[in-house]
A = this chain, B = another copy of it.
């Protein structure tokens, strides 16, 4: 079994229990691997596992969520395609954002750079799409920030209020007005 095969389960565990709450015992039980085997795949322990998950998420993000922004079609269509990808990834808001989780964990310093990097790439990609449409760099950047804030805010509210309505409404129909 390749190390990559365990990424989905690790992601699920971190999302469900948080970084600190996803103990090696839980991970061992969920993967069916003994603790020693986990260290065989991830010599750096839990931090190593989280970084491996981030590797996969970063790749997915660039290859799936952001790719519509670089394609042809109207700005509205492209943003909508991105929203649809995010909607699916977060399962309509029933799944939390791992990046937000890692920022509240006891070891957040170990991940903050990568989290910031990804968030900036989201803001920049959306801003670029607006710029191509004739918006000023300043206005485009603000559009990117607004979108990122809306996404994160929708994810937080979906978790807190235990309803998928927020993302469902906002991301499926994003953007309401561009």
Contact = CB atoms under 8 A, between A and B. Distances in A.
Given A152-B152, A153-B149, A154-B153, A99 B160 contact: yes
A116 B170 contact: no
Contact of A154 (B96, B149, B151, B157): B149
A169 B53 CA distance: 33
29 contacts: A18-B104, A18-B105, A18-B106, A18-B108, A20-B20, A20-B106, A21-B105, A21-B106, A100-B104, A100-B156, A100-B160, A101-B104, A103-B160, A104-B104, A112-B160, A112-B162, A115-B160, A116-B160, A116-B161, A119-B160, A119-B161, A145-B157, A149-B156, A149-B157, A150-B150, A150-B153, A152-B156, A153-B154, A156-B156
Given A104-B105, A153-B154, 15 more contacts: A18-B106, A20-B21, A20-B105, A21-B106, A96-B104, A99-B160, A100-B156, A101-B104, A112-B162, A120-B161, A148-B157, A149-B150, A149-B156, A149-B170, A152-B156
